[in-house]
Structure formats: C-alpha cells, structure tokens
Structure 1
C-alpha cells in the first residue's frame, strides 16, 4: 500500500503528463498548458498562496518565469517541480500564520520539526 506522500507524488506526475502531452504532443508544459493545469487543479491553493495584491494570472505568470530556468518558453518536469516547490514553501509559511489552527502557530515549544503528530493536508480556509 502506498503512503500518502507516494500517492501525492504519483498524482503530481500524472497531472503533469495530462497537460504536457496536449498540444503539441511532447513532455513539456507550454505557458498555456501550465496556466490550465494550475487553474483547473490548484486555483483555491493558488488563491491562498499568492502574494497580496497580485492576481491569479499574474501569479501564474510569475511562477512560470521563475520555473523556466533555461528560458525556452516551456517547462520540463524538473522545472515544473520548481513551481510545486515555490508554492509549497509559501503555503507552509502561511500555515504558520494561522494561530487558531491546532498544531500550528507560535509558542508551541516544538519548533518547526513537524513532529507534532497531524497530517499535513494544509487545506486552510474555505475553498472557492
């Protein structure tokens, strides 16, 4: 039986492939495929992690530019992982800004080792 993390990684790979093989048929994400992937699969998450005052489209464009290391206008899987990394780091930071959520916030004396015994689904707030 796969662990939650293994399932999450499989899911990320499968979603990447669903969009990277659209048009043209390749193993890269164009800017449009990248935008569709995020807006169709992660819009509530993006809404919760985007910087204040920045719209979703501008945030997606910023993520694309940051991820496109070789500046070829498309993302290979390793570049796409950069996006997941950036968004996950921001989501994690913001998870600690919600002091009313059990297991998070300041003053717990447990630091940030994350051995505080709860799952990390981090689905903060209502999802639109």
Structure 2
C-alpha cells in the first residue's frame, strides 16, 4: 500500500504530464498550460495561499515568473516542482498566521531551517 506522500508525489507527476502534453505536445508547461493546470486543480488552495491583495491570476503569474529559472517562457518538470515548493511554503507560512488554528501539529516555530 502506498503512503500518502507517495500518492501525492505520483499525483504531481501525473498532473504535470497531463497538462504538459497539451498543445504544443512536449514535456514542458507553457504559461497557458501552467495557468490552466493550477486553475483546474488548485483554485481554492491558491486563493487561500495568495498574498494579501493579490488575485489568483496575479499569484499564478508571480509563481510562473519565479519558477521559470531560465526565462524561456515554459516550465520543465524541475521548474514545476519549484512552483509546488513555493505554494507549499506559502501555505505553511499562512497556516501559522491564523490565530488559534490547530494545524494538525503542535511544535515551536523551530523547523530546522534558518533564514
């Protein structure tokens, strides 16, 4: 039986491929494919993690710009993973801003990473 994390990782790979093979048929996400992928599969999550006073569309554009490391206007899989990391980090940070929220874990804010 696969773990939740294995299923999530497998799902991320499959979703990437489902959208990357649209027009043009290649193994990259165009800006349009990327936007459609996030709007179809993560709209509520993005709405909840977008920075204050930022629309979902603007947030998607920011994510694409940050992830497109080589500035070629498309995302290869590793750049897509960067996007997932950015969204997950935003969600994690936002979860700690909600007063009184029990995020399913209790700990100090020492996460083993430093700025």
* TM-score relative to the length of structure 2: 0.89
Question: 2:108 aligns to what?
Answer: 111
CA distance in 2, matches of 1:51, 1:94: 9
Local SS of the residue matching 1:42: helix
CA distance in 2, matches of 1:7, 1:104: 20
Report how many residues are paired: 111
Q: Does 1:68 align with 2:68?
A: yes
Shift of 1:10: 0.4
> Does the 8 A contact of 1:95 with 1:104 survive in 2?
no
Shift of 1:95: 1.0
Unaligned runs of 5+ in 2: none
CA distance in 1, matches of 2:96, 2:70: 33
More helix by share: 2
Shift of 1:57: 0.9
Shift of 1:68: 0.3
Shift of 1:22: 0.5
CA distance in 1, matches of 2:93, 2:55: 19
CA RMSD of aligned residues (A): 1.8
CA distance in 2, matches of 1:103, 1:84: 19
Question: 2:24 aligns to what?
Answer: 24
User: Which ranges of 4 or more aligned residues in structure 1 deviate by more than 4 Å?
Assistant: none
Shift of 1:102: 2.6
CA distance in 2, matches of 1:8, 1:104: 18
Q: Does 1:7 align with 2:7?
A: yes
CA distance in 1, matches of 2:41, 2:78: 19
Local SS of the residue matching 1:69: coil
> Does the 8 A contact of 2:29 with 2:76 survive in 1?
yes
Local SS of the residue matching 2:39: helix
